[in-house]
Amino acid sequence: MSSLIQDNRPEAVLALADGTLFRGRSIGAPGRTIAEVVFNTSMTGYQEILTDPSYTGQIVNLTYPHIGNVGVNNEDTESGRIYAVGLVIETLSPIVSNFRAKETLSEYLTRSGVVGIAEVDNRLLTQIIRDRGAQAACILTAANGTLTDEELNAAVEAAKSYTGMVGQDLAQVVTTKAPYEWTEGTWQIDNDTGATSYTKPELPFHIVAYDFGVKQNILRLLVNQGLRVTVLPAKTSFEDAMKYSPDGFFFSNGPGDPEPCTYAIETAKKILKSGIPFFGICLGHQILGLAVGGKTVKMKTGHHGANHPVIDVKTKHVYITSQNHGFAVDASTLPANVRVTHESLFDGTLQGMELTDAPAFSFQGHPEASPGPQDISPLFERFGQMVRTYAESKAAR
Ligand SMILES: NC(=O)CC[C@H](N)C(=O)O
């Protein structure tokens, strides 16, 4: 697909609650969105970022200055739709050129009813977020092509009305309504034909994955480990999950504040007592932290990017990782049976932990990448091994 993008778009504005205005052009649906705006420093992967359910309730400001050049395809989605509630970019690529592209980024946003703004000084916006933290913001598109003073004022007022992310349980909003099976592994492209094929490994072991807003590449990488995955709604009780006789529990990433997810925290406590292997990613990691009695905190800017160095505190091995979180587990609140395994080399925050008295571990960043480096994907192998060991010991009993 290769097509020129027209540039007769309506004006749009991104307003901050303090009255700062970033004027630009609408590249998505007409309308208005109110949310916190965070920046993501990934150089690639806008489609994966937009479709990551963890971005529910957030406007994403992509710092890479040129976005949209490869369009939008059928494969690079992390869920069934766009979850970010707004997109901010500097320059929209005037052409789309990629053999997989099915539509332009702008068409995708518009079709999805998502507001987007381009041609803003998003470097300045990023500096504001860096200095003051994630900001309450409103994106508003001009109703008649050109922004009026009333519209600019209304955008600032709307930004002021934002009530914040703290206390919001968004996992229960995005979770699956009903359980389902996932049996598809990672995919490859045939270099000659361009066709996509999915890995279909043998699946001798069975786990349940709690869906708090799960990214599909996580499910694919679990399947690659030979794990048949039953995905469960966030509020499934431990007792109901046990009806599946799982050999492992996985807790997914997800949007919002982990603290109000009390149902999941209670489930995690029961899992830890059961002796069945547990692996949590991002929100799942934070829920583990709360289940063992630790506390979570809202970070200033959070971590959103694909080049975050994380150190394994035992081996001193450094991994470049994909990250997307605005809350963090406060390591100083963790009890003695928790060992810190990984730390961020950007700010020292907790990135990974394991229990010394249960087969449970978790990671704050995104070992599934999508987008980003795959340095730390061996965490999936670690979980696969734990599940195999557990299942074999169960069979021998
Ligand atoms: N990607 C995630 O799971 C994010 C977790 C949580 N919503 C946070 O912002 O920290």
pLDDT of residue 371: 96
Is 289 close to ligand 1, i.e. is its CB under 6 Å away? no
Instruction: Provide the CA 321 distance to its chain's centre, in angstroms.
Output: 13
Beta bridge mates, 95: 4
Task: Report the alpha-carbon distance of residue 63 to residue 54 in Å, rounded.
Answer: 19
Question: How confident is the prediction for the chain on average, in pLDDT?
Answer: 96
Residue 367 has pLDDT above 90, yes or no: yes
| The CATH fold of domain 2-160 | Glucose Oxidase; domain 1 (3.50.30)
Pseudo-torsion of CA 295, 317, 278, 187, nearest 10°?
Answer: 120
Average pLDDT rounded to a whole number, residues 82-99: 96
Which of 38, 40, 54 to mutate for ligand 1's pocket (most ligand atoms within 8 Å of CB)?
54
Say what the pLDDT of residue 378 is.
98
Question: For the residues 371-390, what does the mean pLDDT come to?
Answer: 97
> What distance in angstroms lies between residue 283's CA and the mean position of ligand 1's atoms?
5
Q: In ligand 1, which atom is closest to the CA atom of 284?
A: 3
**Residue nearest (by alpha carbon) to ligand 1 atom 3:** 253
Give the mean pLDDT of 293-302. Answer: 97
53 lines ligand 1 (CB under 6 A): no
- Rounded to the nearest angstrom, the distance between the alpha carbon of 302 and the centre of ligand 1 is 9
Which residue's CA is the closest to the ligand 1 atom numbered 4?
325
**What average pLDDT does range 139-161 have in this prediction?**
98
Q: What does the pLDDT average to over 294-303?
A: 97
Enter the DSSP assignment of 10.
Answer: P
Which residue ranges make up the annotated binding site?
54, 254, 256, 283, 286, 324, 326-327
Q: What is the pLDDT of residue 7?
A: 59
Average pLDDT of 193-219?
94
* 327 CA to centre of ligand 1 in angstroms: 6
What percent of the residues of the chain are helix, what percent strand, and what percent coil, each to the nearest 5? Answer: 25, 35, 40
Site to probe by mutation for ligand 1, drawn from 169, 286, 370 as the one with most ligand atoms within 8 Å of Cβ, is 286
pLDDT of residue 2: 39
> What local confidence, expressed as pLDDT, does residue 201 receive?
92
Q: Which atom of ligand 1 approaches the CA of 282 most closely?
A: 3
ipTM of the complex: 0.97
Number of the ligand 1 atom closest to the C-alpha atom of 281: 3
Strand order in the sheet with 180-182: 180-182, 227-233, 205-211, 249-251, 278-281, 360-363, 350-355, 338-344, 295-312, 318-330
Q: How far apart are CA 327 and CA 255, in angstroms?
A: 10
Ligand 1 site, residue 324, Cβ cutoff 6 A: yes
253 lines ligand 1 (CB under 6 A): yes
Active site residue 206: no
**Separation of 282 CA from ligand 1 center, angstroms?**
6
pLDDT at residue 303 above 80? yes
Question: Domain coordinates of the chain in residue numbers?
Answer: 2-160, 171-396
Report, as an integer, the average pLDDT of 234-245: 98
Residue 196 confidence (pLDDT): 87
Closest C-alpha among 149, 161, 12, 3 to residue 72: 3
Segment 39-64, tens digit of pLDDT: 999 999 999 999 999 999 999 999 99
DSSP at 246: -
Phi-psi domain of 282 (left: phi exceeds 0; alpha: psi -120 through 50; beta: other):
left
Q: Is the per-residue pLDDT at 4 higher than 90?
A: no
Catalytic residue among 119, 151, 354, 368: 368
Residue 325 Cβ inside 6 Å of ligand 1? The answer reads: yes
Catalytic residue of the set 282, 303, 308, 342: 282
As annotated, the binding site for L-glutamine includes 54, 254, 256, 283, 286, 324, 326-327
Q: State the distance from the centre of ligand 1 to the C-alpha of 223, rounded, in angstroms.
A: 23
What's the CA-to-centroid distance between 111 and ligand 1, angstroms?
26
Whole-number pLDDT of residue 307: 97
- Residue 397's pLDDT is 83
Q: Binning pLDDT at 50, 70 and 90, where does residue 1 land?
A: very low
Enclosing H/E stretch for 380: helix 378-396
**Confidence check: pLDDT of 112 > 50:** yes
Distance 329 CA to ligand 1 centre (A): 11
Question: Quick check: CB of 54 below 6 Å from ligand 1?
Answer: yes
Q: Does the beta carbon of 282 lie inside 6 Å of ligand 1?
A: yes
Give the Cα separation of 374 and 383 in Å (integer). 16
The confidence band for 192, taking pLDDT boundaries of 50, 70 and 90, is confident
pLDDT (tens digit per residue) in 340-366: 999 999 999 999 999 999 999 999 999
Backbone phi, then psi, for 216, in 5-degree steps?
-65, -30
Dihedral sign (CA 215, 341, 172, 295): negative
> By three-state DSSP, how is residue 190 classified?
coil
* pLDDT value at 296 more than 80: yes
pLDDT digits (tens, 9 = 90+) for 306-328: 999 999 999 999 999 999 999 99
CATH topology assigned to domain 171-396: Rossmann fold (3.40.50)
Does pLDDT of 5 surpass 90? no
**Among this protein's residues, is 368 annotated catalytic?**
yes
Tell me the pLDDT band of 6, cut-offs 50, 70 and 90.
low
Among residues 285, 308, 342, 366, the one annotated as catalytic is: 366
